[in-house]
Amino acid sequence: MQKGFNLIPLILIILVFVAAIFIPIPYYQKDTVCILIYPTECKSGWQLGQPLWKRIFQSNTQQTISSPQPTPTPSTTPDETANWKTYTNNKYSFSFKYPSSFSLTTRNTNKLIVILEDSKGEFDLISEPYSDNFKNSHPNKTVTINNIKWDVFSSAGSCDGLTACPQIIPYYRTIRNNLIYDFTFGLREEDLTPILNTFKFLE
């Protein structure tokens, strides 16, 4: 009799535990809540909530299941110089790329002249030793392109090689190892900039 009597509290504890897990838990709804579906249902006062096991299961599910995040697609900018030609001059220690639609010719006297020409006109790169004649030059501005500092100048052009023209010819200039590099571009600065972006000195 004593052993059977001791089992009763244990059975009651088990029943209470099972009831707490599986029986819906009542709660008091202070404010009126309406579910906006047809027909509209509004609730207030004492309500039956979800059983404890369902709350635990839903909580664990929400923590373990996460919505997949979209993988960002890297943006690629097309390289406009991919199909360009490359000119390299080891004597003057530089190289640059230019569009395949341009023709390139060079002249070598006491200085190097590289002529780039297309249907719209031409660009000239002139490289020569630095001299005192360049000391009094005053640039209009200075820009840095591809980690190279260029001074921007403007000068009067030449119509026939002798007579000055009223047209102003702007040009870029940089100096390295006692050599002058002048890039004339006329009125096509926006066309020259992509070429200057590829200009570099050889190590």
Is the separation of the CB atoms in 24 and 48 below 8 Å? yes
Put the strands of the sheet holding 112-118 in their side by side order. 103-108, 112-118, 121-129, 179-184, 164-176, 148-158, 141-145
Contact 154, 184 (CB under 8 A): no
| Distance in Å from the first CA to the final CA of the chain | 103
CATH numeric code, 85-201: 3.40.1000.10
Going through the chain in order, the beta strands assigned E by DSSP cover 26-35, 41-48, 85-89, 94-98, 103-108, 112-118, 121-129, 141-145, 148-158, 164-176, 179-184, 200-201
pLDDT (0 to 100) of residue 202? 92
Across the range 55-83, mean pLDDT stands at 68
Give the model confidence (pLDDT) of 123-148 as tens digits: 889 999 988 887 777 888 899 999 99
pLDDT averaged over every residue in the chain: 76
pLDDT of residue 72: 73
Which residues of the chain are in CATH 3.40.1000.10 domains? 85-201
Q: What pLDDT was estimated at residue 105?
A: 94
142-184: per-residue pLDDT in tens? Answer: 999 999 999 988 765 555 444 445 556 778 999 999 999 999 8
Name the region of 180 (left: φ>0; alpha: ψ -120 to 50; beta: rest).
beta
* pLDDT tens digits for range 57-66: 665 555 544 5
| Residue 88 neighbours by CB distance under 10 Å | 12
What pLDDT sits at residue 132? 82
Nearest to 100, CA basis, from 85, 114, 117: 85
Length of the chain counted residue by residue? 203
* pLDDT for 98 beyond 80: yes
Q: What are the tokens at 22? A: 């599986």
Residue 165 CB partners (closer than 8 Å, separation 6+): 156, 157, 158, 159
User: Model-level pTM?
Assistant: 0.56
Average pLDDT over residues 61-77: 64
